[in-house]
Structure 1
Amino acid sequence: MGKRRGTSPVKALTQWFQRRSFIFKFILGAIITLFSLVALKLSVRNHDNLFVASEIVHALGILILIYKLTIHRSCSGLSLKSQELTAIFLAARLVCSVMIEGDIHTFLDSLTLAATIWVIYMLRFKLNASYNKELDTMPLYYVVIPCAILSIFVHSQSLWPLLARVLWSFCLCVEAISVLPQLRFMQNAKMVESFTAHYVFALGISRFVGCANWIFKIYETGGKYLVLAGKGHLYILLILVAEIVQTFILADFCYYYIKR
C-alpha cells in the first residue's frame, strides 16, 4: 500500500487563503502593499530610479511577447488594440522625453516603442491568421478621444511648454487604461494564455513601482503635490489619479494570476 501524499505547503496555504472572507483578503492585501512600499522606500535611495525600474519591467514584458511570437509563431490571446494603445502612449512619452529630458528614459522608451511596433506588425501581417479579431472588441476612439480632451482641459491655463505638458498628460491617460482591451479580450475568450498572463503581470509590477514613486513624492514633500493640485495645477491630480487607476486595474489581474 503506497504512502499517502501530503498536501504541499503552497497548496495548503492557497486553500486556507481562499476560505477567508473578502474583508480579510482586502486587509491582508493592504498590509502586503504597505510592507512592499516600505521595503521599496528603504531599499531604493534615489526614488527617481523607480521610474527607470518601471520602464525596464515594461520592456521585459514586451520581450515575453516577442519570445511568444518568435518561438511559438502564434498571437493567440493577444489584443492588437492594447498594443496599439501602448504604442500611442509610448510615442507621446518619447516626444516629451526628447523635448524635456533626453536621458535614460528616452533610450528605454525608444527600445520599448520599437519592440511594441514590431509586435503590432507581427499581429497585423505575419501572424494575423492566429489573431482573434472578433474577441478584440473595444474601439480605440473610446479611449483616445476622451484622453485627448481631458489632457487639453487640465492644461488650459498652463504656460510653456504647453505641447509637452499636454502630450505628457495624454500619455498618462492612455497608459492608465491601455491594458483594458487586453483584459476585455481575455474576458471574451474566457481563458488566459500563459505568455499573455506573464506579460500583463509584468505590466502590473511595472505600474506598482511607478505608482510607488508618486506616493513617495507626496510623502517626502509633506503633501506639496496635492496642495499644488488644489491651486489649479490639475495635471498633478491627473497624474496621481491615472497612476492609481492603472495600478488598481492591474492589481485585480495580478491577484488572480498569483492565485492561479
Structure 2
Amino acid sequence: MRAQKTPIHAVSTWVRRQPPKVKAFLAVVSGMAALVLLRFIVHDHDNLFVAAEAVHSIGISVLIYKLMKEKTCAGLSLKSQELTAIFLAVRLYCSFVMEYDIHTLLDLATFLTTLWVIYMIRFNLKSSYMEDKDNFAIYYVVIPCAVLALFIHPSTSHHFLNRIFWAFCVYLEAVSVLPQLRVMQNTKIVEPFTAHYVFALGVARFLSCAHWVLQHTLLLRLV
C-alpha cells in the first residue's frame, strides 16, 4: 500500500521538478516573505545578528566534526575558509574600535575555529584537499567588495576608514561561500557534512542580511 504524501513532501517534490528560473523566483519570494515575517515577530533586530553568528558557529562545528571524524577535507574549499577568516578579522578590528560587545566574543571564537580549519586543510589533511577543484579566484570577490565599500558604506560618526572596513566585511561575508559552491559544482558530489555546513552558512547569511535590511529601514524611519 502506497504511503500517503504529506503536504510538505508534496510541495518539496513539486519545487524540485520546477525549472531553475522558477526555483530562483520562488527563492526570492520566500526570502522576501521571511523578511517581512521577521520584521513583525522580532522586535530587537540585533538578535538577528547574534543568531547569524551563532548559526555560523554551528556550521564551523560541523566542519570540525567532519575533519576530526573522517580525517579528510575532501569537498571543502580552502578559499572559502580564507575569505571567511579575512572578513572575520576585519570585523573583529571594527568591533574593537567601534563597538566592543557580545558580537566581538562570538566573532573571535568563530575566527579562531576558522583558522584551525585552515590549518588542518593546509597541513594535516593536505593530501585529501582537492586543490584542482577549488579553482575560484578570490580576487574576483575581494576587489569588487573593496571598491563597493569605498563608495557605499554606513554614514555614522565613526572614522571614515573604519566605516569602509565595516562595509567591506559585510559585502565579503555575503559572497564568501562562492568558492565552496564552486567546489560542489566541480565535484558533482555533495557530502552530508558539507551540505549541512553550506545550509548553515545560507541561514547565517540570510539572518545577517535581514538584520542589516531591517536596521537600515528602521534608521530611515527615524530620520
TM-score by length of 2: 0.86
Matches within 5 A, 1:167-206: 167-206=165-204
Aligned to 2:118: 120
Q: Per chain length, whose mean CA-contact separation is higher, i.e. which structure has more relative contact order (CA < 8 Å, sep 6+)?
A: 2
Q: Please list every run of 5 or more consecutive structure 2 residues that lacks an aligned counterpart in the other structure.
A: none
Aligned to 1:6: 3
Q: Distance in 1 between matches of 2:5 and 2:105?
A: 45
Q: Deviations over 1:13-38 (max 9, x none)?
A: 43344456778756654554344234
Question: Structure 1 residues 201, 148: CA separation in 2 closer, same or farther (over 3 Å shift)?
Answer: same
Tell whether 2:60 aligns with 1:74.
no
- Choose 105-114 or 184-193, whichever is displaced more: 184-193
Aligned to 1:42: 40
Aligned to 2:162: 164
Aligned length: 221
Q: Is the 8 A contact 1:60 1:202 kept in 2?
A: yes
Q: Is the 8 A contact 1:62 1:116 kept in 2?
A: yes
Q: Deviations over 1:158-183 (max 9, x none)?
A: 98512211211221222121111111
Greater gyration radius = 1
The one-letter code of the counterpart of 1:131 is Y
- Choose 142-151 or 88-97, whichever is displaced more: 142-151
Q: Distance in 1 between matches of 2:61 and 2:129?
A: 19
Which of 100, 103, 128 aligns to 1:102? It is 100
Q: Distance in 1 between matches of 2:140 and 2:25?
A: 34
The alignment yields a C-alpha RMSD, in angstroms, of 2.7
Q: Is the 8 A contact 1:57 1:206 kept in 2?
A: yes
SS in 2 for 1:183: helix
- Choose 211-220 or 64-73, whichever is displaced more: 211-220
Q: Is the 8 A contact 1:77 1:193 kept in 2?
A: yes
The one-letter code of the counterpart of 1:146 is P
SS in 2 for 1:75: coil
The one-letter code of the counterpart of 1:162 is F
Q: How far apart are 1:223 and its partner, in Å?
A: 5.9
- Choose 89-98 or 167-176, whichever is displaced more: 167-176
Q: Is the 8 A contact 2:67 2:73 kept in 1?
A: yes
Q: How far apart are 1:41 and its partner, in Å?
A: 2.7
The one-letter code of the counterpart of 1:120 is I
The one-letter code of the counterpart of 2:45 is H
TM-score by length of 1: 0.75
Q: How far apart are 1:85 and its partner, in Å?
A: 0.5
Q: Is the 8 A contact 1:151 1:167 kept in 2?
A: yes
- Choose 142-151 or 79-88, whichever is displaced more: 142-151
Question: Structure 1 residues 138, 29: CA separation in 2 closer, same or farther (over 3 Å shift)?
Answer: closer
Tell whether 2:96 aligns with 1:90.
no
Q: Distance in 1 between matches of 2:178 and 2:127?
A: 23
The one-letter code of the counterpart of 2:2 is R
Q: Is the 8 A contact 1:50 1:213 kept in 2?
A: yes
Q: Distance in 2 between matches of 1:138 and 1:17?
A: 29
Q: How far apart are 1:71 and its partner, in Å?
A: 1.2
SS in 2 for 1:133: coil
Q: Please list every run of 5 or more consecutive structure 1 residues that lacks an aligned counterpart in the other structure.
A: 226-260
Identity of aligned residues (%): 51
